[in-house]
Amino acid sequence: MLFGSKEMIRRGIEIIKLNPIDRFSLQFRLTLEIAMLSVLSLSSVAAWTSGKMQDILITTHTQNVKYIATRFPRDVELYSDMLPPNVGLQKTIDNVSVPNLVIWVKSGDNKQLLAQSNGANSSFMADEELMKLAEMPLQPMVYQFHDRFLVLYQGEIWIKNNLLGKVYMAKDVTDEERQLINAIQSLAVVCILATTATIITIAFRIRQSLQPLQEMNKIAGAISAEDLSQAKLRLNNAPSEVKELAQTFNMMLSRLSDSWEQQRQFVSNVSHELRTPLTVVLGYLQSLLRRSTNLNDYQKEALETAASEADRTVHLLQYLLDLARADSGYTIYRRDRVNLNELVTEVAEMAEQFSNRIIQIEASETFFTICDRDRLKQVLINLIDNAVKYSAADQPIILKIDQSNQKINIQVCDRGVGIPLKDQGRIFERFYRVDESRTRDTGGHGLGLAIVKTLVDGMGGSISIRSELGSGSVFTIAFAS
Ligand code: ADP
């Protein structure tokens, strides 16, 4: 049993460690407010009840004592006719005495003790200390005197308009007070247990009620632009308020999906419409540059600038078209068995011609994989193009093929400027460029790597990057072997 409770505490601590309390969460605030309210209400009920019980105890005993006190002068008067005053007083005290009541009478100036009960009925006697306490102005309360609880009374005895003395009474209510203290303690324990049980139940219920919202948050967080059309929140057993929210959210998702599709269609149409005439313009500019022999320097430079800008824009439009096609799922990937060594050599030779750079190939054996030959070529050309752009002209570019962990890896390595760690996670996003100043000279659009990732994913492979600022970058494409 003891082990069980220790285990429970240990688990509780683990849960708290795993889910640190969020002080700003609705769950925490609601639980805290309700817990505070229940502590406040239960403790006020407990305080009121114990105060009331104490009042009842004091009132009952005070009334008792007062009743005896009203009889006192009458009896004294009766005895004073037959007996000397002191004897009459003592007789009266003996007469009115009840168990646990101590009575004593003092002269009017409190200096002389005239008579007192003999203590036979009581567990204590009136000593100097008690007398001093009883002679002070009294409140309607239970007085603690050593280990006893007393209700005190003081009154004057007038006989035939003469002040005979002062009567004092001390009623021992220790047993009743102890019972009351026990009852109050039990009430406090019950209140603490009830409050704890209420807080635990409420915390659990609040957590349960907010669960659908957390689920909604998780589902909404996992939705990306690509799966917007299929994305839907489905919540079972959620309260109707949350279900309504989920429905509205689903309607919003569907509107978003429509406008995202329209936007994609628009980009695709515009790119398509612009690419053809611009390719014609580029063709004319290039042929003009090749054939014209009588151009002056200014005309030649203007035509070259126009041709290079047209070329850049045709490339951008081609990228946008490729991405739009891939997004709408119109890109069809062939599944060829490709000899990677041959393909890499072909791409390297082509790239060497265009870039005038040394491209080395490292492969210990011949590797094959299933992929789309043309798209893999496009991927490698884009990566080599970047490696050329972002490394010094005297640095070689290395293409490696190897196998590890049942994967065939093709690596494009350069010893260029490298990519800062903070940008590496975003490098494959559309239009993301590391540093405008760095890309100003190279003139990219930030779409090359987005296309590379789309194509590699489409072929069922994966792409990763390892890079160090100032040392170079390694892009690794992995296919299943
Ligand atoms: P861009 O057309 O601008 O080159 P990319 O999508 O191909 O667009 O690349 C995105 C950014 O990643 C580039 O702006 C460049 O800063 C960085 N980058 C890509 N490849 C390399 C590389 N091999 N070395 C250093 N930085 C690179």
pTM above 0.75, yes or no: no
CATH of the domain at 115: 3.30.450.20
Residues 305 and 345 placed together within one structural domain of the fold: no
CATH of the domain at 348: 3.30.565.10
Task: Give, for ligand 1, the residue of 323, 357, 419 to mutate: max count of ligand atoms closer than 8 Å to Cβ.
Answer: 419
H or E, element range at 198: helix 174-222
Q: How confident is the model at residue 462 (pLDDT cuts 50, 70, 90)?
A: very high
Residues 409 and 299 placed together within one structural domain of the fold: no
473 lines ligand 1 (CB under 6 A): yes
Q: How confident is the model at residue 136 (pLDDT cuts 50, 70, 90)?
A: confident
Residues whose CB is less than 8 angstroms from the CB of residue 350 and which lie 6 or more positions away in sequence, other chains included: 381
Residues 319 and 411 placed together within one structural domain of the fold: no
What residue's CA is closest to ligand 1, atom 9?
446
Q: Is residue 424 pLDDT above 50, yes or no?
A: yes
Distance (Å) of CA 77 to CA 72, 82, 107, 166 = 9, 9, 16, 14
Residues 78 and 204 placed together within one structural domain of the fold: yes
Which domain, by its residues, includes 104?
A: 1-218
∠304-444-425 over CA atoms, to 5°?
A: 175
Q: Is 399 within the bounds of a domain? A: yes
Cα of 85 vs centre of ligand 1, distance in Å, is 120
Residues 127 and 256 placed together within one structural domain of the fold: no
Residues 186 and 40 placed together within one structural domain of the fold: yes
Say which range, 129-138, 174-183, 200-209, 408-417, has the weakest mean pLDDT.
129-138
Q: Is 230 within the bounds of a domain? A: no
Q: How confident is the model at residue 135 (pLDDT cuts 50, 70, 90)?
A: confident
414 lines ligand 1 (CB under 6 A): yes
Residues 173 and 280 placed together within one structural domain of the fold: no
Residues 347 and 441 placed together within one structural domain of the fold: yes
Average pLDDT over residues 91-108: 86
Report the C-alpha gap between 435 and 423 in whole angstroms: 9
439 lines ligand 1 (CB under 6 A): yes
Report the C-alpha gap between 72 and 339 in whole angstroms: 124
Q: Largest Cα–Cα distance of the chain, in whole Å?
A: 160
Cα of 221 vs centre of ligand 1, distance in Å, is 28
- Among 280, 310, 327, the domain boundary falls at 327
Residues 346 and 475 placed together within one structural domain of the fold: yes
Question: pLDDT tens digit string along 185-199?
Answer: 998 999 889 888 988
444 lines ligand 1 (CB under 6 A): yes
What residue's CA is closest to ligand 1, atom 19?
386
Amino acid identity, residue 15?
I
Q: How confident is the model at residue 423 (pLDDT cuts 50, 70, 90)?
A: very high
Cα of 137 vs centre of ligand 1, distance in Å, is 94
Question: pLDDT tens digit string along 399-411?
Answer: 999 999 899 999 9
Cα of 304 vs centre of ligand 1, distance in Å, is 25
Contact 56, 50 (CB under 8 A): no
Number of independent structural domains in the chain? 3
434 lines ligand 1 (CB under 6 A): yes
- The two three-digit tokens of residue 299, written as one number: 């005309």
Question: pLDDT tens digit string along 313-328?
Answer: 998 898 888 888 887 7
369 lines ligand 1 (CB under 6 A): no
